[in-house]
Structure 1
């Protein structure tokens, strides 16, 4: 892969690349478009870890995305400064800030497709689809081809995010928000479709195939992105590419934030003691917190900030050491898994999993998410296929833009239902569930 092509300011849906501008660059405009978008604003009421928390300090998806974006900007700029020098990219008009702006914009959007109730919300939609689809087997209905069915069997917030960015926002213009192809490629950590036969993978174990990054409905759009920035296609019989190099920095920024910040939030919620928090964070931060009169909360903030800074330095070093392998597609690993702190980060993740993610308060909300999203998905999926009186009433609860009775393509219909369900906030989904269940009547 070639950096000049990887950084082209070509927008998806536009015929020509924009001129490079050093005032308000194309990549900075990407960031601005995301900030002003409705899906980004809805992240304020979507679960990070603690759903529907009454604690004002605890992070929502919105705050998490902003923090990841800040870390990503630093990673991009530091890496970019070296890459520009190595490849003399300044003579083509590129500079370190371009790298920072691409990574920060992609980081800002990285959770934009996540449904309510966090990652358990994704699984709730998968489970609901499988149960719903299974109910039609006795009628031998064949609504989808295998690839389309796999999109729902493995419903993925990353793919939903790509769909939001490239189709659902700012319709009907082609390319949706018409972000630059570098930002969209860096956003796509898993540049492959959902259904790829094992013989195609042929034992491949790279990080970028852990999940998938786009639905069948947007495969042509991602293909255009990949070809525009020059991603390496890994197999001619599958929609599967090597990552854009900056996608590794987007992933690292996310990993840094949730590893360190989940400890801080866990402490704030009372799930992790101060002594345990100090042991987990200060192993990386290595600061003297004994000689101050700061509160424990302030000490945790200082350790969190320094730990993030240390991990940023590690990621930069590893990325630059492996740059040539990244450009050939040979490198496909989680950067933090190669850091000096990899064993300790595993210790942190184990502690937060046991003390936080498996805590009764968190688990109970996750269970509720299955009930809430399962019922909403099933009721609305049935409403677009059935004509009985109850289903007709439920159908009319759908906003008009989701009314697809005349659409013949069942795959397109169910995609619109997952668009609606995954776009909900935690509070809205809970309220709608109560209405559908007759617990509330939806009156003000």
Structure 2
């Protein structure tokens, strides 16, 4: 049975509309239509070979940005359902949240930020905004995907107000865009967008544990004394003393996701009641995020994140991959800046300008859109004479 939506939920029939007005769909509400546009976007398909921590060719079972986005969408939709929010909007923001990530995860983002430092910087959240409002070309009547106001707002503000960031060069795209369509950048986003944001935290913390064990970066025994996951592992072994380590890992991750979801639901319901939230306006003008972890869960997650940082994100094998990825992207960026004619035709025209800031942004957009595999192959073609002769 579908519960009645709460008064502080977003209602698609009350959407503030799209920047370019369009006829209402007969088959889908506004947020479901946004979701479908994201799923059909080129940038969404490319997520299948963009990585979280590992490079896409390192193993078939590690998370990619695509599998991660689907897992975030599932958790976001579950949270929204339990909180009586609009599940389509929560799912839509979750599916869109990583569209701006470059190849090679955070290593790729760090390198593009370094290369773009003189030309306005790089931020994956802003790049996601640029993808959905400008870079996707699928419709003759407008740039981008022409998503509804609430979806674009959620993409920009799912982690909270951003007006304090508009002076940062990387955020110029949003600062320039907002006057034409006020996204209320100083307020919080909808509860649906907040649910997508915390679903991201739940997904990556749990699945990095899963991937790290599978990759041999640490063992289940190493996790025994880590808050949250340690007690869960103990409980699984107590309840299922005869199952193997693979099933212990899977069951522990499943239980940990469940525990984090229940914690978010309890904390969120308490905050909504304490702040007397009765409308979407009250959500936006609240003095804090309403969809949140409890203080106890946050403390446990802090210890888990510290463990993952030390044992996974800075493991020497991961460091080597990060180093290779940064060199690869940096070399391509510098070559394209010096010789824009080496870019594919659809990009060389954009980068062929004498305005170096515009050239840099075109080069950055091209590289940010690459998958891991494409970036590796493109680098080989550019820097290996044998491969270049075969083109």
User: Which residue pairs with 2:20 in the alignment?
Assistant: 14
Q: Residue 289 of structure 1: CA displacement?
A: 2.9
Q: Relative to 1, partners in 2 of residues 1:193 and 1:422: Cα closer, same or farther, differing over 3 Å? A: farther
Q: Relative to 1, partners in 2 of residues 1:258 and 1:406: Cα closer, same or farther, differing over 3 Å? A: closer
Q: Residue 440 of structure 1: CA displacement?
A: 4.8
1:398-413 pair list within 5 angstroms: 398-404=344-350, 407=353, 410-413=356-359
TM-score (norm 2): 0.84
What whole-Å deviation, never above 9, does each CA across 1:22-59 have from its counterpart, x for those lacking one?
x6322122222222221111111111111134322111
Does the 8 Å contact 1:46/1:117 carry over to 2? yes
User: Which residue pairs with 1:261 in the alignment?
Assistant: 207
Does the 8 Å contact 2:109/2:123 carry over to 1? yes
Q: Residue 277 of structure 1: CA displacement?
A: 3.8
Q: Relative to 1, partners in 2 of residues 1:278 and 1:6: Cα closer, same or farther, differing over 3 Å? A: farther
User: Which residue pairs with 2:343 in the alignment?
Assistant: 397
User: Which residue pairs with 1:290 in the alignment?
Assistant: 238
User: Which residue pairs with 1:192 in the alignment?
Assistant: 162
Does the 8 Å contact 1:27/1:105 carry over to 2? yes
| Uncovered stretches (5+) of structure 1, i.e. residues with no partner | 82-95, 134-148, 198-211, 235-240, 385-394
Alignment of 1:353 onto 2:359: no
User: Which residue pairs with 2:93 in the alignment?
Assistant: 106
Q: Whole-Å Cα distance in 1 between the matches of residues 200 and 99 of structure 2?
A: 13
Alignment of 1:157 onto 2:113: no
Q: Whole-Å Cα distance in 2 between the matches of residues 247 and 224 of structure 1?
A: 22
Alignment of 1:321 onto 2:241: no
Q: Which moved more, 1:63-72 or 1:35-44?
A: 35-44
Q: Relative to 1, partners in 2 of residues 1:172 and 1:343: Cα closer, same or farther, differing over 3 Å? A: same
Q: Whole-Å Cα distance in 2 between the matches of residues 33 and 196 of structure 1?
A: 27
Does the 8 Å contact 2:115/2:330 carry over to 1? yes
Q: Whole-Å Cα distance in 1 between the matches of residues 108 and 59 of structure 2?
A: 21
Give the aligned length: 369
Alignment of 1:311 onto 2:311: no
What SS does the aligned partner of 2:204 have? Answer: helix
User: Which residue pairs with 1:365 in the alignment?
Assistant: 321
Q: Whole-Å Cα distance in 2 between the matches of residues 223 and 314 of structure 1?
A: 38
Q: Relative to 1, partners in 2 of residues 1:57 and 1:34: Cα closer, same or farther, differing over 3 Å? A: same
User: Which residue pairs with 2:151 in the alignment?
Assistant: 183
What SS does the aligned partner of 1:335 have? Answer: coil
Q: Relative to 1, partners in 2 of residues 1:220 and 1:321: Cα closer, same or farther, differing over 3 Å? A: farther
Does the 8 Å contact 1:372/1:433 carry over to 2? yes
Does the 8 Å contact 2:312/2:318 carry over to 1? yes
Q: Residue 168 of structure 1: CA displacement?
A: 1.1
Aligned to 2:104, which of 90, 110, 117?
117
What whole-Å deviation, never above 9, does each CA across 1:81-126 have from its counterpart, x for those lacking one?
2xxxxxxxxxxxxxx4xx2111111111111110011111111012
| Uncovered stretches (5+) of structure 2, i.e. residues with no partner | 1-6
Aligned to 1:167, which of 123, 134, 138?
134
User: Which residue pairs with 1:433 in the alignment?
Assistant: 379
What SS does the aligned partner of 1:166 have? Answer: helix
Q: Which moved more, 1:357-366 or 1:182-191?
A: 182-191
Q: Residue 18 of structure 1: CA displacement?
A: 3.7
Q: Whole-Å Cα distance in 2 between the matches of residues 26 and 285 of structure 1?
A: 42
TM-score (norm 1): 0.74
Does the 8 Å contact 1:31/1:105 carry over to 2? yes
Q: Relative to 1, partners in 2 of residues 1:217 and 1:349: Cα closer, same or farther, differing over 3 Å? A: closer
1:78-157 pair list within 5 angstroms: 78-79=82-83, 81=84, 96=85, 99-130=86-117, 133=118, 149=119, 151-152=120-121, 155-157=122-124
Does the 8 Å contact 1:192/1:213 carry over to 2? no
User: Which residue pairs with 1:145 in the alignment?
Assistant: none
Does the 8 Å contact 1:27/1:101 carry over to 2? yes
What SS does the aligned partner of 2:296 have? Answer: coil
Q: Residue 219 of structure 1: CA displacement?
A: 3.5
What whole-Å deviation, never above 9, does each CA across 1:389-420 have from its counterpart, x for those lacking one?
xxxxxx14323244136756544332221110
TM-align CA RMSD: 3.0
Q: Which moved more, 1:244-253 or 1:405-414?
A: 405-414
What whole-Å deviation, never above 9, does each CA across 1:215-241 have from its counterpart, x for those lacking one?
4234454455544xxx4x53xxxxxx4
Q: Which moved more, 1:159-168 or 1:395-404?
A: 395-404
Q: Runs in 1 of length 4+ with deviation above 6 angstroms?
A: none
